[in-house]
A and B are shown apart, each in its own frame.
Chain A
Amino acid sequence: MKDNILQSLNLEKIAKFRELGLLGFIILLAIIIQLLNPAFLTFGNLRDLLTNTAILSILALGMMLVLITRGIDLSIGATLALSGMITALTVSAYGNLHPLLAILLGIMVGIICGVILGLLVSKIGILPIIASLGLMNVFRGLTFWVGGGEWVSAYQMPPSFKSIATSSFLGINTLVLIAVVIFLLFYYFVNNTITGRQIYAVGSNPDSARVSGINQTKILILVYTIMGGLSGLAGVLWVSKFASAQGDTATGYELTVIAACILGGVSIAGGVGKVTGVLLGAILLGVLSNGLPLINVSPFWQMGIEGMIILIAVLFNTNVKMLVEKNNLLRREI
């Protein structure tokens, strides 16, 4: 018992240290970029940075829940594209559709996609990576099919729809505002509600979760449904922001989202992950993609740099974990 308390204390300290370390790294990176190019820390650029990171952080929060249950969702890029395409086609056909209805439509499409994946994972027991890999192709193919292989371009969309992403409320861009609201909701949900805690329980030890009466099927479906709904929302926001819907929108974006989670300290082995960490992870990637072009790093280098940082973060995480466990073992011997 005492060991357990010690271990949890220790882990908590490590987690705090992790987040502070991440924050420190982001600040360091910002200073370096600022020294090389003073245009970085200007109001306009920071606003761009935040709006560009908003969609990533919305998706990363959903992905965190999926990863906590030991799952993974590779289909979100395709879900995003499908929901964006369907919404864009709808608003281009019915120009006077209220933007809120458009957002709802996108979320609904995403939820349907998420429920299908959730059922495959929980009811039939397909490995999440394989189920979502398969659905990724199905959704991506459907996106091309629905769009007839064509783009929906800016001139086809009514101004009210395009203004979802460009308008601001109390001086804050709507995208950023939506991301902040979702962040706060998530913070409350995973920390203060029973269902939120059950998600962690299912991820950290599925067997004992089942024994203690947690409905695993329900939790899994819920998690994938939330992920789907957020992807649907992100689809509408994405299309509104870039004012174009294409068949290949957000191809491979799921990797960036998972990367943000891993950088934020979410363990792919399940049970571990904090909303603040994930937010920092998303911001770090946002700083990289905003800052690297400013210091004349070729955009084609970005993927390689991202890959290296992810790998280093993954190895760092495991090394710290191994160290903690070793310390605990030593302490027990004494």
Chain B
Amino acid sequence: MSTRTINHIQDFSWKRFFLQWEWMLILLIIAIFTMNSSLSPYFLNYISITDATMTFLDKAFIVFPMVMIMIMREIDISVGSTVALSSVVMAVAYNAGVPMVLAIMICLLVGALCGLFNGFLLVKYKELSAVIVTLSTMILYRGIAYMILENQSSGGFPMWFSFFGWGYVGTIPFILILFLLLAVIFVLVLQKTIFGRHIYAIGSNPIASRFSGVKVDRVKLIVFTLAGLMAAITAVFLTSRMGSTRPNVANMYELDVIAMVALGGISTAGGKGKMLGAILAVFVIGYLQYGLGLINVPAQSLLVIIGLLLIISVTVTNLRMKGKLKKKTSN
């Protein structure tokens, strides 16, 4: 704890600035861009680079709250099921005659409620871990989605709804604009506000932060609700891009999201990591997937690559931490 407070008043040093994990991610992005442009002569132009983001940004909205959750030493593996449930409810509501705008509102509400329910269970039953709570709701939420739609699909949305998935503002995809806007907000909230500091405090020492007046329960409730809300936003974009929905959409999204967060340098031991790292990691994995798609690498190999990326990045973070710990004790 003491070293962390000292870190804050330490003078700026160029060495530490360049040793940050984020530079490593930027190097990775450059490497992937080089690879992609050597694979396809059409990759390296403005339109192709911005258009590519439409293919991977939908699930990236969940990365923001997941960073907060993992900094607090928790995890949420129900987000994929939340996406499915809110998407299914939206489609069913629209087809039952609810106006589309209202259906989207309902979708966001369902997502937020799913997240709130996770948070409520965690806060009410302190000895339950987030793993077990979100594992149960992961089965439950997707189960409810199946109850509603069985093996049917539902769609037939109005034309303007496809704007979310395919629309542009000027020459920039709408999804990219919204993502960057939310990215700025979330970076500021986590890095510059008291609420953000509280999240770090809970992650480094939950008991101490409770005694120093952090409202741990309230912070957890808000963050888990945010996770549900962001999953619902993902649902809107995903449904809009696909044009219809089924109960099995967004399967295993939690894995992709957790992989992005882990690659972003957020330590699973809690209390460490930056929002910016995770945002960069979104583009690393996204452009990597896009590039491998260019050379027709089958989807199953992508599974292996994402799994390996997740394990390697967590291993590197863990070994880095161990190294630091050793240095500290030898001093």
Which of A130, A145, A301, A318 is close to B147, meaning CB atoms less than 8 Å apart? Answer: A301
CA of A135 to CA of B125, assembled, Å: 30
CA of A304 to CA of B133, assembled, Å: 15
Q: Is the CB of A137 within 8 A of B75?
A: no
Known: A124-B315, A134-B308, A135-B311. A144 touches B132 (CB 8 A): no
Q: Is the CB of A130 within 8 A of B125?
A: no
Q: How many residues of A contact B (CB 8 A)?
A: 45
Q: Could you tell me the distance in whole angstroms from the C-beta of B91 to the nearest C-beta in chain A?
A: 16
Q: Is the CB of A318 within 8 A of B127?
A: yes
Known: A141-B307, A300-B146, A301-B146. A131 touches B314 (CB 8 A): yes
Which of B128, B141, B310 is close to A130, meaning CB atoms less than 8 Å apart? Answer: B310
Residue of B nearest to A70 (CB): B129
Which of B121, B131, B144, B311 is close to A120, meaning CB atoms less than 8 Å apart? Answer: B311
Which of A124, A137, A268, A314 is close to B304, meaning CB atoms less than 8 Å apart? Answer: A137
Per-residue CB proximity of A64-104 to B under 8 Å, as 1/0? 00000000100000000000000000000000000000000
Interface of B, secondary structure class, is: helix
Q: List chain B residues, Cβ under 8 A from A131.
A: 311, 314
Which of B139, B254, B300 is close to A141, meaning CB atoms less than 8 Å apart? Answer: B300
Q: List chain B residues, Cβ under 8 A from A140.
A: 300, 303
Q: Is the CB of B268 within 8 A of A127?
A: yes
CA of A9 to CA of B80, assembled, Å: 42
Q: Is the CB of A306 within 8 A of B139?
A: yes
Q: Is the CB of B318 within 8 A of A129?
A: no
B142 touches A (CB below 8 Å): yes
Q: Is the CB of A247 within 8 A of B300?
A: yes
Q: Is the CB of A130 within 8 A of B131?
A: no
A181 touches B (CB below 8 Å): no
A46 touches B (CB below 8 Å): no
Which of A145, A268, A306 is close to B143, meaning CB atoms less than 8 Å apart? Answer: A306
CA of A330 to CA of B315, assembled, Å: 46
Known: A133-B255, A134-B308. A255 touches B135 (CB 8 A): yes
Residue of A nearest to B142 (CB): A303
Q: List chain A residues, Cβ under 8 A from B307.
A: 133-138, 141
A134, A268, A310, A311 pick with most chain B CB within 10 angstroms: A134
A125 touches B (CB below 8 Å): yes
Instruction: Report A123-180 residues with CB < 8 Å from chain B CB.
Output: 124-127, 129-131, 133-138, 140-142, 144-145, 149
B262 touches A (CB below 8 Å): yes
Which of B135, B140, B298, B310 is close to A304, meaning CB atoms less than 8 Å apart? Answer: B140
Known: A124-B315, A138-B307. A144 touches B300 (CB 8 A): yes
A199 touches B (CB below 8 Å): no
Q: List chain A residues, Cβ under 8 A from B259.
A: 134
Q: List chain A residues, Cβ under 8 A from B151.
A: 300
Q: List chain A residues, Cβ under 8 A from B147.
A: 300-301, 304
A126, A140, A145, A307 pick with most chain B CB within 10 angstroms: A307
Q: List chain B residues, Cβ under 8 A from A72.
A: 131
Residue of A nearest to B312 (CB): A134
Q: Is the CB of A144 within 8 A of B298?
A: yes
Which of A141, A255, A308 is close to B301, meaning CB atoms less than 8 Å apart? Answer: A141
Q: List chain B residues, Cβ under 8 A from A258.
A: 135
Q: List chain B residues, Cβ under 8 A from A133.
A: 77, 254-255, 258, 307, 310
Q: List chain A residues, Cβ under 8 A from B121.
A: 315
Interface of A, secondary structure class, is: helix
Known: A138-B307, A144-B298, A300-B146. A308 touches B315 (CB 8 A): no
CA of A247 to CA of B303, assembled, Å: 12
Residue of A nearest to B141 (CB): A307
Q: Is the CB of B140 within 8 A of A321?
A: no
Q: List chain B residues, Cβ under 8 A from A301.
A: 143, 146-147
Q: Could you tell me the distance in whole angstroms from the C-beta of A181 to the nearest C-beta in chain B?
A: 30
B137 touches A (CB below 8 Å): yes
Q: Is the CB of A138 within 8 A of B146?
A: no
Q: Is the CB of B143 within 8 A of A120?
A: no
CA of A310 to CA of B144, assembled, Å: 14
Q: Is the CB of A145 within 8 A of B301?
A: yes
Q: Is the CB of B300 within 8 A of A134?
A: no
Which of A126, A302, A307 is close to B268, meaning CB atoms less than 8 Å apart? Answer: A126
Q: List chain B residues, Cβ under 8 A from A318.
A: 125, 127-128
Q: Is the CB of A138 within 8 A of B304?
A: yes
Q: List chain A residues, Cβ under 8 A from B298.
A: 144, 149
Residue of B nearest to A318 (CB): B125
Per-residue CB proximity of A271-292 to B under 8 Å, as 1/0? 0000000000000000000000
CA of A127 to CA of B247, assembled, Å: 30
CA of A144 to CA of B139, assembled, Å: 25
Which of B138, B310, B322 is close to A134, meaning CB atoms less than 8 Å apart? Answer: B310
Q: List chain B residues, Cβ under 8 A from A305.
A: 143
Known: A137-B307, A141-B303, A318-B128. A130 touches B144 (CB 8 A): no
Q: List chain B residues, Cβ under 8 A from A124.
A: 314-315, 318-319
Q: Is the CB of B300 within 8 A of A321?
A: no
Q: List chain A residues, Cβ under 8 A from B143.
A: 301-308
Q: Is the CB of B136 within 8 A of A138?
A: no
A298 touches B (CB below 8 Å): yes
A125, A133, A142, A318 pick with most chain B CB within 10 angstroms: A133
Known: A259-B139, A300-B150, A307-B143. A129 touches B77 (CB 8 A): yes
Q: Could you tell me the distance in whole angstroms from the C-beta of A92 to the nearest C-beta in chain B?
A: 20
Q: Besides the contacts A129-B77, A268-B132, what 12 more A-B pairs have beta carbons closer than 8 Å?
A: A124-B314, A124-B319, A127-B268, A131-B311, A133-B255, A142-B304, A247-B300, A258-B135, A262-B132, A300-B247, A301-B143, A307-B142
4 nearest A-B residue pairs (beta carbon): A304-B143, A137-B307, A307-B140, A141-B304
19 contacts between A and B (CB under 8 A): A124-B318, A126-B314, A133-B77, A133-B310, A136-B255, A137-B304, A138-B303, A140-B303, A141-B301, A141-B303, A141-B304, A142-B304, A145-B301, A255-B139, A301-B147, A304-B143, A307-B140, A311-B136, A314-B136
